[in-house]
Amino acid sequence: MLRIEVFSEDRNQLGEGPLWDVEEQRLYWIDSYAPAVYTCDAKGGDRKSWNLPEPVGSLALREKGGAIVSLRNGFHTLNFETGAVELLHETHPGELRPRLNDGKVDRQGRFVAGSMDFEERDPVGTLFRLDPDLSLHTLDTGIICSNGPCFSPDGKTLYFADSHMKAIYAYSYDTASGTVGSRRVFTSFDNLRGYPDGATVDAEGYVWSVEVYSGRLIRFDPNGVIDRIVGLPVQSTTSITFGGPDLDIAYVTSMARPFNNQYHREREAGCMFAVHGLGVRGLPEPRFKG
């Protein structure tokens, strides 16, 4: 039976990037505008947090410990022991409007993250790949608002949304090299109420996209056709990951910050939700190998 509960009552200004780590059995997420990284155990206890120096778009846990965080100006390391943040790559030197946003580790342990226009108007964003040797590579350009990168179970398809364009794209993805091939429109949100935001892929190869400003989870089959829609308690939902001991709980972030200068009506806006009883399981999220 479907059951939705508030998992974290903290009202994040822009909750994003939920990530379940199977090794630690812990949930990680970010508040982009706090800015900070948070973590807790499966019951919501043993909480820890790390403050960051500038807005954060996503994080990748490292096999060697700590994390890679995509901050406004580039990729950084985050030391969980000391809280130290160190720059690896400045991604848009001299440019004021692009900032790094959503990201995900591929099945081989590389970190793929995109940037977006801070004003969400012009195609100044880029899709990057950070390799385990810490070298940085460009996969695509001309993006307005990058969101929801995730990978098919075999790792050979990269799904990626440009929220401003109301579209999720699919790239062929070379698992050996991490290069992308042809890009196609996987599905369009033109006839839906909201915009594609964070996303993940379940064990059956179906794509779950969070429809922001509409408060819905939308599950698409591998052909981009809607399979099911799940309503959520707030409209300001942002991203999703599957977690829990059996990877069958959908954790969904949301935001409390105003939209178009209007505050959200729902008092739970900004909370983290746990969705039980969906009848599907997620896939373990890899750690960054660098």
Name beta bridge partners: 4: 275
| DSSP structure class, residue 202 | B
Q: From residue 140, how far is each of 112, 132, 170 by CA, in Å?
A: 11, 19, 12
CA 139 to chain centre: 18
Give the separation between CA 215 and CA 168, rounded to whole angstroms: 17
Q: Which residues are tagged catalytic? A: 197
Name beta bridge partners: 30: 16, 37
Give the separation between CA 261 and CA 10, rounded to whole angstroms: 21
Give the separation between CA 84 and CA 67, rounded to whole angstroms: 11
Residue 191 structure tokens: 């006839």
